Structure 1
Amino acid sequence: MDAIIVLDMQVGLLNGAPKHDLQGVVRRINLLTAMVRERSGKVIWIRHCGKPGDGFERDAEGWSFLPELDRHTDDAVIEKTLNDPFVRTGLHSTLAQIAPDRVIVTGWATDSCVDSTVRSAISSDHHVVVASDAHTVSDRPHMDAAAVIRHHHRVWSNLLTNRSVRIVTAGQLLHEAAS
């Protein structure tokens, strides 16, 4: 059984610079969450709760999940205040209860919350799969978004782990599930 973590796909991410292939990422996240549910897995939505006035403040417009996302009432929602959703949240215990064979990671932002989640999931001894085309970021001053994403795929592929780290497309995951 899989658990899929969807990071910070909230209305507030629409503010600021455009996000790389955001509509494609949303579409692929919806396909992957449907796949996980169909296979009796668990969908875990991570919601960032920001400080007053920062656009992700609790109950502010930016705090809401993107309306295009296909969320179900039996999905888990875990709120975080830091980049890493494993810190001071119920994510560890939720994953311990689920005991997934692997943890699929998607969402926003590649070089921050997605990166922290991948590293913490590995450190927590989970098999990790990064859906390579189901996370996003905006251009950075020193690097365009596509380069940021490619860089992190290379870094994650070379992390030391007792389990495994796979970087595959959403299409590959969907194909494997259909086989």
Structure 2
Amino acid sequence: MTTLQDRPHTALTVIDVQNGIVAGAHERDRVVANIADLVERARTHGTPVVWVLHSHPEHLPRDSDAWQLVPELAIADGERVVHKTYADSFEETDLEDVLAALGAGRLVVAGAQTDECIRSTLHGALVRGYDATLVADAHTTEDQSAYGAPTPDLVIAHTNLYWTYHRAPGREAGTVTTADAQV
């Protein structure tokens, strides 16, 4: 039900599943396996997969080992890669152009970090007119509780809870499990 004209398609958007980002993430292996399942199903059904890779000159330099996609996942020929330096995958990137070229008005979102780049991108998509579905068991975050944040399991549970009921005029949000995701 996107508000974007002539955008009937869905894109699986995989955000920041990079060595340096998910190395210590909550239930990393299970989440990465779920993302791999989503990617395989998307490819089988002809749903475009858009990969988003974060970089930071000090903490995550582009082309470093930490910046690389985790070894369990691989970008296939022809799949689009978006490079970002802000939490919202739309900010100062070509994501909007990539999605427009694909005719995508609905995003299925998976990846990391739940409390930063996942949330920012979901909200960024919704305010730009996209439908945005979060795959509830295919996103993760690291433990920031030493800084006063809730533990990762609670951050993930809270994000899933509020995104399940999130809506905007003419746009849909919500959550699905990996098994139920329509990709």
Do Structure 1 and Structure 2 share a fold, with TM-score over 0.5? yes
Structure with greater helix share of residues: 1
Offset at residue 60 of structure 1 (A): 1.3
Q: Is the 2:83–2:93 contact (alpha carbons within 8 Å) kept by the matching residues of 1?
A: yes
Q: Is the 1:2–1:36 contact (alpha carbons within 8 Å) kept by the matching residues of 2?
A: no
In 2, Cα distance between equivalents of 1:155 and 1:14: 23
**Counterpart residue number, 1:13:** 21
In 1, Cα distance between equivalents of 2:68 and 2:74: 13
TM-score between both structures, scaled by the size of structure 2: 0.87
Q: Does 1:26 align with 2:23?
A: no
SS at match of 1:46: strand
Q: Does 1:35 align with 2:34?
A: no
Q: Percent identity?
A: 29
In 2, Cα distance between equivalents of 1:70 and 1:30: 9
SS at match of 1:62: coil
Deviations 1:148-168 (A, max 9, x none): 011112222333412111211
**Counterpart residue number, 2:165:** 158
Note the aligned Cα RMSD (angstroms).
1.5
SS at match of 2:87: coil
Tell me which amino acid in the other structure corresponds to 2:43: R
**Runs of 4+ off more than 3 Å:** none
**Counterpart residue number, 1:50:** 56
Greater RCO, 1 or 2 (C-alpha within 8 Å, sep 6+): 2
Q: Where in structure 2 are there 5+ consecutive unaligned residues?
A: 1-8
Q: Aligned residues, how many?
A: 171
TM-score between both structures, scaled by the size of structure 1: 0.89
Tell me which amino acid in the other structure corresponds to 1:163: R
Seen in structure 2, the aligned counterparts of structure 1 residues 156 and 78 have a Cα distance that, compared at 3 Å, is: same
Deviating more after overlay: 34-43 vs 129-138: 34-43
Offset at residue 102 of structure 1 (A): 2.1
**Counterpart residue number, 1:169:** 177
In 2, Cα distance between equivalents of 1:22 and 1:111: 15
Q: Is the 1:130–1:167 contact (alpha carbons within 8 Å) kept by the matching residues of 2?
A: yes
**Counterpart residue number, 2:135:** 131
Deviations 1:44-92 (A, max 9, x none): 11011111x31x1012111111111132121111000111110111001
In 2, Cα distance between equivalents of 1:164 and 1:14: 28
Q: Does 1:143 align with 2:160?
A: no
SS at match of 2:171: coil
Q: Where in structure 1 are there 5+ consecutive unaligned residues?
A: none
Q: Is the 1:25–1:133 contact (alpha carbons within 8 Å) kept by the matching residues of 2?
A: yes
